[in-house]
Structure 1
Amino acid sequence: MTPKKEDYLKIIFELGGTKDKVSNKRIAISLDIAAASVTEMVNKLLEEGLVYHEPYSGVYLTEKGIKLAEVLVRKHRIWESFLVNELNYPLPDLDKEAEVLEHVTSDRLLKAMYDKLGHPTHCPHGGVIPSMDGHYKEDSHLLLNDAKDGDTVIVDRFIDNHDLLTYLGDIQLDIGDKLKVIKHSPFEGPVTVQNLTDKQENAISYKASHYIFIKNSNE
């Protein structure tokens, strides 16, 4: 399987495609690619029995696709956790390194790192890590852009993207921050939030608001 196909499986998994349909638009935004490229790759994944597709609704993973995505996500996120916890790697640099390392990692080495880290359940940017026997609690799949004006929410996790994580570091937005959504600006403008944790206001770009997952503040 090519690295590009693996990226698609991982992002469909991350966007909730184990249970819900994920639109081509969301995949395109998350991978920062053209919608036409998504359509082409989805057709290839369909041919290999890795996804189901419902026209005008989106795609979701087959049982075969889920099992493969879990393995890919587990390797990637255990490496990310190891790089941060054991080598003090900066968060924005994790994805590139983990992409290389996950492809040369034996099951023995993976288990050794997993044990060394104390069986982490989430990676440094908040994504779930399936256990070695495949158990995990589903992540939140609600995007910041989906929140309503006036909602109070908690930052739950981020899509693993170098530019995004650099941007979030610049505006000091962290996992666990409590946000009050002030307004969505029209024509794909920013989402303005009051960060109740850091007591500051941020205008978060339309694109970034599709990379930030939230949960209700009462969960």
Structure 2
Amino acid sequence: MTPKKEDYLKIIFELGGKKKKISNKQIALSLNVAAGSVTEMVKKLVASHLVEHEPYAGISLTTEGAKAAEDLVRRHRLWETFLVNKLNYKLQDVHTDAEVLEHITSNNLMNHLEEFLGNPKRCPHGGVIPRQDGQYEEDSHKVLASVLDGQEAVVDRFIDNHDLLEYLADVKLNIGDKIKVTKHTPFEGPIELVLLASGEKMSIGYKAAHYIFVR
């Protein structure tokens, strides 16, 4: 399987494609690629029986695709955990090296790495890490953008996207923060919220709010 196909499988998994239909637009935004590129790759993934595509409804992983995505995600997130927790990488800088390492690592090494790290359940940006036996807790797929004015939530995880993680490092929104949404600005403007622990007010861009998951 090519690295490009693997990237698509991982992002479809992250966006919830094992449980629901994902749109081409979501994939394009998450990977920073053109819509036409997504269309072409989805055709290839369908031909490989890794995804199903229902016109006007969306894209979801097949059983085979989900299994492949889980293995890729496990490898990638274990290496991210190692690089951040043991080598002091910044979260926004970890993706590229984890991408390289996941492709050159044997299953035996991955199992030893998981044990060395203490069998972590989640990576540094909050994503679930499937275990050796394929079991894992289900991720939340409720995005910040869908939280109504006046509602409270807890920041659960971020999409593994360098630009997003750079942005979040600047605004200082973190995993585990308890928030209250105060206003959705019209015409795809920023979402205004308050951090409940400190009372600090914050604005999150409309696009970014679609790749921040909450519980």
List aligned pairs for 1:39-78, cutoff 5 A. 39-78=39-78
Deviations 1:66-89 (A, max 9, x none): 110011000000000111121111
Superposed displacement of residue 115, structure 1: 0.4
Q: Is the 8 A contact 1:181 1:191 kept in 2?
A: yes
Q: Is the 8 A contact 1:150 1:181 kept in 2?
A: yes
What fraction of aligned residue pairs are identical, expressed as a percent? Answer: 61
- SS of equivalent to 2:213: strand
| Whole-angstrom distance in 2 between the partners of 1:144 and 1:118 | 30
Q: Contact 1:157–1:213 at 8 Å: present in 2 too?
A: yes
Instruction: Classify the secondary structure of the residue corresponding to 2:82.
Output: helix
Unaligned stretches of 5+ in structure 1?
Answer: none
SS of corresponding position for 1:104: coil
**Which stretches in structure 2 are left out of the alignment for 5+ residues?**
none
Tell me whether 1:205 sits opposite 2:200 in the alignment: no
Query: 1:19 aligned to 2:7?
Result: no
1:23 is displaced (CA, Å) by 1.2
Q: Tell me how far 1:197 sits from its aligned partner.
A: 2.4
Aligned to 1:170: 170
TM value normalised by structure 1: 0.95
Q: What root-mean-square deviation, in Å, do the aligned CA atoms of Structure 1 and Structure 2 show?
A: 1.0
Distance 1:188 1:104 in 2: 41
Once the two structures are superposed, the pairs formed by residues 121-160 of structure 1 within 5 Å of their partners are: 121-160=121-160
- Deviates further, 192-201 or 12-21: 192-201
User: Which residue identity is paired with 2:136?
Assistant: Y
- Runs of 4+ off more than 6 Å: none
What letter is aligned with 2:122? Answer: H
Q: Tell me how far apart the structure 2 counterparts of residues 93 and 198 of structure 1 sit (CA, whole Å).
A: 28
Range 62-71 or range 21-30, more displaced: 21-30
Partners of 2:65 and 2:197 in 1: CA distance: 38
**Whole-Å separation in 1 of the counterparts to 2:198 and 2:73:** 31
Q: Which moved more, 1:42-51 or 1:191-200?
A: 191-200
Structure 1 residue 198 displacement after superposition = 3.2
Equivalent residues in 2 for 1:32-43 (5 A)?
Answer: 32-43=32-43
Equivalenced residue count is: 215
The residue type equivalent to 1:194 in the other structure is V
Cα distance in 1 for partners of 2:122, 2:24 equals 26
- Cα distance in structure 1, aligned partners of 2:165 and 2:108: 31
Alpha-carbon distance, 1:164 to partner:
1.4
Shift of residue 141, structure 1, vs aligned partner:
0.4
1:100–1:198: structure 2 CA closer, same or farther, 3 Å change rule? farther
Which whole-Å deviations, capped at 9, do the CAs of 1:26-58 have from their partners, x for residues lacking one?
Answer: 111211222222111111100000001111110
Q: TM-score, normalised by structure 2?
A: 0.97
Offset of residue 112 of structure 1:
1.1
Give the Cα–Cα distance (whole angstroms) in 1 for the partners of residues 198 and 125 of structure 2: 19
